[in-house]
Amino acid sequence: MAYEEYRRWIILGFPNVEQGPVLDLVAGSIAGGTAVVSTYPLDLVRTKLAYQVKGAVNVSLRESKPSEQVYKGILDCVKTIYRQNGLKGLYRGMAPSLYGIFPYSGLKFYFYEKMKTHVPEEHRKDIIPKLACGSVAGLLGQTITYPLDVVRRQMQVQAFSSSNLVKGKGTFGSLVMIAKHQGWKQLFSGLSINYLKVVPSVAIGFTVYDSMKDWLNVPSREQAAVVVPVLSEDGSNAAPVHSS
């Protein structure tokens, strides 16, 4: 929804903008940033609760008492973080998420729409081409931006860890420190496993989205048009420009 709305607003605000994959890149990037800002506190809570479960397993194996903060659930985690660090605490580590989601979301839409232009017109509505375009879009976008996701996770859980590797470091400073102390391969640790989740997820998401538009008889971009009034030199309305 955000992607389509931002795309429409850009066309209305800049009637002369070239419509194509670059427009999809910009609209997708802004939409991704909006999604992160709206949902980041829940992502932070998920990461902390997952780390807590992992820590509890390690503690039980060592048969020693845990020293980390223990949360009773989602609401308790949100309240504790807010009480200890305020609203800022709920958005801790969001910077690398934004740095990552802007290119990831933008590239995802860019590659998907770009690849669709190479699909023959008679196969545009077929499921297999949509899945293929979505899979490649998710794979390329995830590969390019994965190191920033690694930094995000480390910044989110650094309060639990005794390591000072990324404490007090900025996003790009953390990238350098991780590569220096743990090796550049650490920046892509878990990427292959992530492919198993992200690639089919993106492929299915794009396919279902396009298929639902066809099922609901939503006009395609080639069929739909946004009427943008153009003023002539004397200030009167000239012929409108139709923008898909």
Higher pLDDT, 140 or 170: 140
pLDDT higher than threshold 50 for residue 26:
yes
CB 152 within 8 A of CB 169: no
Higher pLDDT, 173 or 143: 143
CATH number of the domain bearing residue 214: 1.50.40.10
Mean pLDDT computed over 165-181: 73
How many CA atoms does the CB half-sphere of 94 hold within 13 Å?
19
Would you say residue 147 lies in a domain? Answer: yes
Domain membership of residue 15 as a residue range: 1-55+71-92
State pLDDT tens for residues 66-114: 445 677 888 888 888 888 888 888 888 788 778 778 888 998 999 998 8
pLDDT score recorded for residue 63: 47
In this structure, the answer to whether residues 126 and 84 fall within a common structural domain is: no
In this structure, the answer to whether residues 103 and 215 fall within a common structural domain is: yes
Residue type (1 letter), 106: G
Would you say residue 230 lies in a domain? Answer: no
Higher pLDDT, 236 or 41: 41
In this structure, the answer to whether residues 88 and 99 fall within a common structural domain is: no
pLDDT higher than threshold 80 for residue 38:
yes
In this structure, the answer to whether residues 3 and 88 fall within a common structural domain is: yes
Residue type (1 letter), 120: P
pLDDT score recorded for residue 222: 56
> Percent of the chain at pLDDT above 90?
20
The mean pLDDT value of the chain amounts to 79
Would you say residue 193 lies in a domain? Answer: yes
Number of domains in the chain: 2
In this structure, the answer to whether residues 80 and 111 fall within a common structural domain is: no
Q: 3-state secondary structure string, the chain?
A: CHHHHHHHHHHHHCCCCCCCHHHHHHHHHHHHHHHHHHHHHHHHHHHHHHHHHHHHHHHHHHCCCCCCCCCCCHHHHHHHHHHHHHHHHHCCCHHHHHHHHHHHHHHHHHHHHHHHCCCCHHHCCCHHHHHHHHHHHHHHHHHHHHHHHHHHHHHHHCCCCCCCCCCCCCHHHHHHHHHHHHCHHHHHCCHHHHHHHHHHHHHHHHHHHHHHHHHCCCCCCCCCCEEECCECCCCCECCCEEEC
Would you say residue 210 lies in a domain? Answer: yes
How many whole angstroms separate alpha carbon 69 and alpha carbon 171? 25
pLDDT score recorded for residue 227: 47
**Lowest mean per-residue pLDDT among 72-76, 116-120, 152-156:** 152-156
> Percent of the chain at pLDDT above 70?
76
Mean pLDDT computed over 43-65: 63
State pLDDT tens for residues 185-212: 888 888 988 899 899 999 999 999 888 8
**Lowest mean per-residue pLDDT among 1-5, 85-89, 168-172, 198-202:** 168-172
Would you say residue 239 lies in a domain? Answer: no
Higher pLDDT, 219 or 36: 36
pLDDT higher than threshold 50 for residue 64:
no
Helix axes 171-182, 127-157, angle to 10 degrees: 90
pLDDT score recorded for residue 125: 85
Mean pLDDT computed over 148-176: 68
